[in-house]
Amino acid sequence: MAKRARSNVPQFRIRVPAKVVNQLRGRRILLNLSNRHDVQCIKVTKIADDVAFSLETTDRIVAEARQANALDHLKRLFELTEAEPIHLSYKELVALSGETYRLYNEIHGDDPGEPSAWTYHKALHRAALEGRIKNPPPAALTPNETASAVELFGTGDLTAAVNARPAGQYDSLEDRFGLLADWVLIRQRIKLAPTERRRFLQLVGTASLDAGWQLRRNSEGDYSPDPKAQRFPAIETVKAIKPKQTITGLFDLWWAEAKATGRSKTTHDAYKGAIDRLVRFLGHDDAGRVTDADMIGFKDHRLKTVSAKTLKDGDLPGIRSVFGWGVDNQKLARNPADAIKVKSEKKIRTRSKGFTDEEAEAIVAACLERGCSYCRRQEVGSAHRVLHWLSDCRGATASQRGHPQALQTSRIRFQSRRGQHQIRFVQVSACA
């Protein structure tokens, strides 16, 4: 992320690869940076030698999620630019257009806004579909086109005003629905043959109009199921789309390799538990659908029941490893778990490192009373007895035990396998 002068709002910036920049320069693209854990963020930007725009937030975590989503979408576009166009059946085109319907509802379903906004939005959709208006504003997923619609149709009966314009005068499908169509195709990694472009635009426009009707009903408090939502074939029926990579399937593939390299059953169980918890949280098993925002939401969800250290050392290593393996083996484009940053809490010290006076007195008293086996065998004095007893307990070597100079100060220092330790004695003179 970049920063502009005199601004705290981070900016997205990426240089367009030289091999595709001439083909893409001047093209406008739609970016949906919204998600279920974030406020609405829709961007329309023009491609030049680079792509740059504001991420519209000062929240670092939200900005990183938006940055990652935009980067993923643009990388798909760059890859598609050099790909070969493909032909799809009519059924496959209808299935793809259903992504537009679902996108509208995903963004606006919970908070659809005012009914009038969708009324004007739909009017522009229908007028463009029927060729009644020229150069309509592009449908950019946001129902904020009241001013444009009023300028074209006035403030009276919208249906009558749209019908008053002759149908079939203009071909406005590209102007109105081109950005939406491109978003779907880029998202699904499909470069559609130019001969099928217009048919797909018509289907995207119809799906957008259906979504507008449903959201208009939602805005009036009607959330009953929309029969038209069932008319779209499943996206998996589009043969050009790669089969869905499941999260659990990705784990199985990772384990097959990890097991061969000597990873333990304990590691398997720990990672499997983390993956299962993630799948339960997401409510789906599609690895390709997991976003940075999903992972941040998972982090927040887990921190309600476990400590930051448990999350950092327990769930995250497994999830990062499995998704990372998917990226390394070209099963996934990116690792969404990289979005999670967890700082585990520092351990609060409740006491000093050394012994308390009472503990030191207890050690000396016990030693003077019993002594250690070495002291009893050698019949050494009390001072040496203290040193030998402590040295044995702390793992000192034979040459380090019972050094006579140690009792000349109020601190006894000795080396052990765990490093240097200091023990303070209150009654050293009594021992001596």
Express each pLDDT in 408-430 by its tens digit. 333 444 333 333 334 444 333 33
Gap between the Cα atoms of 94 and 80, Å rounded:
21
Domain end: 283, 309, 339, which one? Answer: 339
Q: Are residues 143 and 172 in the same domain?
A: yes
352 located within any domain: no
Give the domain-ending residue among 39, 55, 81. 81
Q: Are 261 and 194 found together in one domain?
A: no
50 and 70 belong to one structural domain: yes
Q: Which of 50, 81, 112 is the last residue of a domain?
A: 81
- Decide if 392 is inside a domain: yes
What are the pLDDT digits (tens) for 289-326?
Answer: 888 888 888 888 888 888 888 888 888 888 999 999 98
Q: Does residue 269 share a domain with residue 133?
A: no
C-alpha 426/C-alpha 364 separation (Å) is 10
**Domain check: are 131 and 221 in the same one?**
yes
Question: Using one digit for the tens of pLDDT, what is the confidence trace for 152-185?
Answer: 998 888 999 999 999 999 999 999 999 999 999 9
Q: Does any domain span residue 126? A: yes
Does an H or E element contain 117, and which?
Answer: helix 115-129
Q: Which residues contact 129 (CB under 8 A, 6 or more apart)?
A: 173, 176, 202, 205, 206, 209
Same domain as 206, residue 116: yes
Q: 412 forms bridges with which residues in the sheet?
A: 423
Q: Is the dihedral of CA 232, 237, 238, 242 positive or negative?
A: positive
Is 351 inside any structural domain?
Answer: no
- For residue 271, is it within any domain? yes
- Claim to verify: residue 301 and residue 401 sit in the same structural domain: no
Provide the residue range defining the domain that includes 322: 247-339
141: left (phi > 0), else alpha (psi -120 to 50), else beta? left
Give dist(CA 197, CA 184) in Å, integer.
12
In this prediction, residue 128 carries a pLDDT of 95
- pLDDT value of residue 192: 94
Count the domains in the chain.
Answer: 4
Whether 37 is in a domain gets the answer: yes
Q: How much is the average pLDDT of 237-250?
A: 82
Whether 167 maps to a domain, the answer reads: yes
**214 within some domain:** yes
**Are 421 and 406 contacting, i.e. CB atoms less than 8 angstroms apart?**
no
pTM above 0.85, yes or no: no
* Residues 164 and 289 grouped into a single domain: no
Q: Exposed, middle or buried, 155 (CB in 10 Å: 0-12/13-18/19+)?
A: exposed
Bridging pattern class, strands 411-416 and 2-3: unpaired
Block residue for tokens 């208006």: 133
Helices (H), 220-315: 247-260, 265-282, 292-302, 308-310
Q: What is the pLDDT of residue 68?
A: 83
274 plus 190 within the same structural domain: no
> CA–CA distance from 279 to each of 131, 231, 294, 301, 302 (Å)?
46, 28, 11, 13, 13
Please answer whether residues 175 and 138 qualify as being in contact, where contact means their C-beta atoms are separated by less than 8 angstroms: yes
Domain check: are 94 and 229 in the same one?
Answer: yes
Statement to judge: residues 233 and 150 lie in one domain? yes
In terms of domains, do 108 and 232 share one?
Answer: yes
Residue found under tokens 């000192």: 396
In this prediction, residue 406 carries a pLDDT of: 38
Whether 257 shows a pLDDT value over 60: the answer reads: yes
